[in-house]
Amino acid sequence: MIIRSKAPLRIGLAGGGSDVSPYSDLYGGAILNATINQYAYASLEPKPGNKIIFQSIDKGTALEYESTKELPVNHELQLHAGIYNRIVKTFTNKPLSFKLITHVDAPPGSGLGSSSTLVTAILGAFCEWLKLPLGEYDIARLAYDIERTDLKQTGGKQDQYAATFGGVNYMEFYADDKVIVNPLRIKSSVLNELAYSTVLFFTGASRTSGNIIDMQQKSVREKQTLQVEAMHKIKEQAILMKEALLKEELDSLGPILDFGWQNKKQMANGITNPYIDSIYKAAINAGATGGKVSGAGGGGFMFFYCPGNSRHSVIDALGQFNGEIKNYNFCKTGLTSWTVNH
């Protein structure tokens, strides 16, 4: 028997950063994101023999342990071990024996939520195997708790919920880690046009988001006016983006993206750099009307809105940079798991 699961990566369209505490606790956060047909995968095979084997295809890393109730987490596959530890602590209260193989369609640090999506996919496999009675909100919250509380990794809240629910969602974030997911009913024709009119470009540089997010959190705690006002504008951007999508006013998305990008750059040092600025300028000069860095910033993927047929000239212009165009479509399905009987 093999248990498999997959969870979709996401593009943050607007509001990114307002889901991070303490901003969301003090002011409330709002984000608009959409999942795409790029995934994190987990394959879990129960095994006899009291062994635990983790294998990450992406990292080319495999670790093996004797079955025990708690594994060390000071290694490259700490997400795998951290999830296992929480599953045993909260649900089974006894060691498990299995092999877990994972891979992700985007590299870590890409800005598409790959780490949190991987956590969600692994949790989905355990839920399928152990028949855990967890709903979508439960799984997303558990994924968040494992990353932020158990493993003490810095970050926001949107990725776990996007990966679990799937589709286009307007999300609200409040104090005490309260999250409300509002699915948007967007026609397939509108999503097809949005995918055709956008370009997703990998800059060739992954980044560690933790340092940037640490600076954002510090700005809020110290009530630094410029940075906090920028975050208010970013939250406003999510509302504007939601209305434009629901009204099918797609050509207004470019200016809304640019409005958000100009404010996001004010939130912390390191969100942009000369290389990112030159990519952004080249895309705008080629016909894009707005764009952003996906995720916390500093590298990873960039995303541009290209009205009409300007995507072709934008793609040509980006060819001068050491990066890669990523073709994608939006997907409406979130975390999925299934069992294969051999």
Question: Which pLDDT value is given to residue 209?
Answer: 59
Q: Are residues 43 and 179 in the same domain?
A: yes
- Flag whether 74 is in a domain: yes
Question: Which pLDDT value is given to residue 206?
Answer: 67
Question: Which pLDDT value is given to residue 159?
Answer: 95
- Flag whether 330 is in a domain: no
Q: Measure the CA–CA gap between 289 and 73, rounded to whole angstroms.
A: 44
State which of 132, 157, 185 marks the end of a domain.
Answer: 185
**Number of domains making up the chain:** 2
Q: Are residues 22 and 139 in the same domain?
A: yes
Q: Are residues 46 and 139 in the same domain?
A: yes
Domain that holds residue 53: 2-185
What are the tens digits of pLDDT across the range 149-169? 999 998 889 999 999 999 999
Question: Which pLDDT value is given to residue 265?
Answer: 87
Q: Measure the CA–CA gap between 148 and 150, rounded to whole angstroms.
A: 6
What are the tens digits of pLDDT across the range 63-106? 999 999 999 999 999 999 999 999 999 999 999 999 999 999 99
**Residue 322 pLDDT class (50, 70, 90 cuts):** confident
Q: Are residues 156 and 122 in the same domain?
A: yes
Q: Are strands 98-104 and 51-56 parallel, antiparallel or unpaired?
A: parallel
- Flag whether 202 is in a domain: yes
Q: Are residues 168 and 285 in the same domain?
A: no
Choosing from 19, 105, 159, 258, the catalytic residue is: 159
Q: Which two tokens stand for residue 195?
A: 């995918």
Residue type, 152: K
**Residue 170 pLDDT class (50, 70, 90 cuts):** very high
Q: Are residues 52 and 90 in the same domain?
A: yes
Q: Are residues 204 and 267 in the same domain?
A: yes
Q: Are residues 93 and 36 in the same domain?
A: yes
Q: Are residues 249 and 310 in the same domain?
A: yes
Q: List CB contacts of 61: < 8 A, sequence separation 6 or more.
A: 54, 55, 76, 77
Average pLDDT over residues 322-327: 92
Q: Are residues 111 and 222 in the same domain?
A: no
Question: Which pLDDT value is given to residue 213?
Answer: 78
Question: Which pLDDT value is given to residue 188?
Answer: 94
Q: Are residues 96 and 218 in the same domain?
A: no
- Flag whether 342 is in a domain: no
Identify whether 159 is a catalytic site residue.
yes
- Flag whether 318 is in a domain: yes
- Flag whether 340 is in a domain: no
**Intra-chain end-to-end CA distance of the chain, in Å:** 6
Q: CATH number, domain at 314?
A: 3.30.70.890
Q: Are residues 114 and 247 in the same domain?
A: no
- Flag whether 335 is in a domain: no
Evaluate whether 181 touches 34 at the Cβ level (below 8 Å).
no
* Beta strands in the chain, from DSSP E residues, in sequence order: 2-14, 29-46, 51-56, 61-66, 98-104, 168-174, 178-183, 198-202, 290-293, 301-305, 324-325, 336-340
Evaluate whether 157 touches 25 at the Cβ level (below 8 Å).
no
CA angle 211, 213, 216 (to 5 degrees): 115
